[in-house]
Amino acid sequence: MTHSERRGGGALACLAAALCAAASLGLAGAAQEGQAFAAQSLAAEPQAAEPQAAEPQRATGPDTRPLVPADTLPTPFVRAVSLGVEPLEEGFSASEEEFALGRRLFFDPILSGRRTVACASCHRPEFAFADNRQTSRGIEGYLTRRNAPSLFNKGLDTELLWDGRAATLEDQVLMPIENPEEMALGKAAAINRLSQEGGYPEAFKAVYGREVDEEALAHALSAFVRGLTVGDSPVDRFRDGDVASLSPEEEAGLWLYEGRGRCWECHNGPNFSDGQFHNTGVGAVDGVPEVGRFLVTEADEDRGAFRTPGLRMLEQTAPYMHDGSLATLEDVVQFYREGGTPNSHLSARIKPIRLSDQDASNLVAFLKALSRH
Ligand code: HEC
Ligand code: HEC
């Protein structure tokens, strides 16, 4: 089987190209505005040690970008099999109609109380379905507690969300509809609206053979999210034997990633995540970690532990970490050089790493290669 057969004839590269084009065309203003916003909210609100317990925060002032971005994804949107993530696609079996229904719902503010916020408001296509803001604006300007992650390759994950509170994608996709600070509609009201409006009753009937219900809504949304896949980066091609696909700097970065940096100990597998939870110290204040995974397991060792994020498409998904506290990949590498943030439950695997400035820049080059296609 040739590469292009495995990649489904380059449809994925087409999606990535569309994202890159969106990012460079006219959206630069949005990115700058997002950074200014993040810097502002950082200065105004010191990070609470336990965000779940804190009062919800609201953004002040009008939003300066469209609340719901337009669906500019390629049409037809073909889900391609791509190098490096094959296991994901083997189990994926949504029809084109189901995928199209999920796609429409994803961009539709009908799922929010005041019809102002859609999934795509926080998971923006031009930022690899993440947000360029430190935290996102939900309904009526409420700020999310955490940084919105990219939705690429979510079909690979078993436990979702930064602390793993959702066991499956089907469970997760209805949560923002219920969340009073995100979409604030509620499942029953969502089903009610979709049973009456916008051609949805007919569309659900055509796909699922029945009226709109919670299960069908969860399936439609998760079918779309599962279809957002990305692979076939130069790193995948290098590992597949095409040694010319990485520059000398990127290749040196790969050896540091696997060698002295020990990044692979947690960032491994097709998505560069072990799917486990670790305390790196992000968000810890005066040696006290955030709640993290402890919220779910109530096991002491899980205090301040968050799920290892995947590392694909990082160039599009700044800022980084569960609280969006690190603005650049240089900052992230510096964070690891210093051995994370000390706290009572820091992972034993997080220790200062001896890297020269050239090593650090090679490691960043390697991470960026995971966003190239
Ligand atoms: C107001 C902003 C906002 C909206 C609207 C929103 N999300 Fe999210 N989403 C987030 C944030 C923030 C997180 C991370 C929350 C956490 O881990 O505690 C997240 C996490 C997720 C995850 C888990 C990702 C991972 O890596 O574990 C999925 C999947 C997801 N959202 C899908 C959706 C879908 C589908 C919708 C629409 C029904 C939606 N989101 C609406 C902000 C939003
Ligand atoms: C002990 C496991 C572990 C090791 C070792 C590790 N990481 Fe991480 N990494 C994590 C966890 C957990 C997070 C999320 C931390 C948080 O937000 O609380 C993370 C976050 C990141 C992020 C941010 C991604 C995003 O989308 O926000 C990057 C980039 C990253 N790590 C790169 C690296 C590099 C490079 C190395 C090696 C120098 C490394 N990691 C070593 C567990 C680890």
Q: Which ligand is closest in space to the CA of residue 185? A: 1
Question: Which of 47, 260, 280 most suits a substitution to test ligand 2, by most atoms within 8 Å of the C-beta?
Answer: 280
Which CATH fold topology does 234-369 show?
Answer: Cytochrome Bc1 Complex; Chain D, domain 2 (1.10.760)
The number of helix segments (H) and strand segments (E) in the chain equals 16, 2
Comparison of pLDDT for 19 and 143, the residue scoring more: 143
pLDDT band at 248 (very low <50, low <70, confident <90, very high): very high
Q: CA–CA separation, 274 vs 83, rounded Å?
A: 19
What are the residue boundaries of the structural domains of the chain, listed by start?
Answer: 3-226, 234-369
Residue with tokens 């051609």: 199
Q: Quote the strand ranges of 193-270, DSSP E.
A: none
Tokens of 37: 């916003």
Report the DSSP beta bridge partners of residue 137: 143
Q: What phi, psi does 305 have (nearest 5°)?
A: -90, 135
**Neighbour count for residue 126 (Cβ, 10 Å):** 22
pLDDT in tens, 345-363: 999 999 999 999 999 999 9
Residue closest to 183 by CA, chosen among 194, 174, 192: 174
Query: Does residue 312 have a pLDDT over 80?
Result: yes
pLDDT band at 52 (very low <50, low <70, confident <90, very high): low
Tokens of 298: 């109530």
Question: Which of 58, 122, 154 most suits a substitution to test ligand 1, by most atoms within 8 Å of the C-beta?
Answer: 122
Comparison of pLDDT for 59 and 23, the residue scoring more: 59
| Amino acid 90: pLDDT | 55
> What is the SS3 assignment for 285?
strand
Ligand 2, atom 6, residue with closest C-alpha: 263
Rounded to the nearest angstrom, the gap between the alpha carbon of residue 108 and the centroid of all alpha carbons in its chain is: 19
| Alpha-helix residue ranges (DSSP H) falling in 45-85 | none
Comparison of pLDDT for 230 and 29, the residue scoring more: 230
pLDDT band at 78 (very low <50, low <70, confident <90, very high): low
What is the residue type of 58?
R
pLDDT in tens, 79-111: 565 788 876 555 567 888 999 999 999 999 999
Residue closest to 147 by CA, chosen among 330, 319, 332, 331: 319
| Amino acid 66: pLDDT | 84
Whether omega for the bond prior to residue 76 falls within 30 degrees of 0, making it cis, is yes
pTM of the prediction? 0.88
Atom of ligand 2 nearest to the CA of 317: 26
For the segment 202-216, the average pLDDT, to the nearest whole number, is: 97
Ligand 1, atom 24, residue with closest C-alpha: 161
Domain 3-226, CATH homologous superfamily name and number:
Cytochrome c-like domain (1.10.760.10)
* Fold: same for 3-226 and 234-369: yes
Query: Does residue 44 have a pLDDT over 60?
Result: no
pLDDT > 90: percent of the chain: 71
Q: CA–CA separation, 221 vs 114, rounded Å?
A: 20
| Amino acid 79: pLDDT | 58
Residue closest to 252 by CA, chosen among 363, 354, 353, 329: 363
Degrees to nearest 5, angle at CA 26 with 21 and 31: 95
Strand pairing report for 306-307 and 277-278: antiparallel
Tokens of 89: 């696609």
Question: Could you tell me the distance, in angstroms and rounded to a whole number, from the CA of residue 209 to the centre of ligand 2?
Answer: 44
Question: Could you tell me the distance, in angstroms and rounded to a whole number, from the CA of residue 115 to the centre of ligand 2?
Answer: 36
Residue with tokens 């965000």: 51
pLDDT band at 31 (very low <50, low <70, confident <90, very high): very low
pLDDT in tens, 123-156: 999 999 999 999 999 998 899 999 999 999 998 8
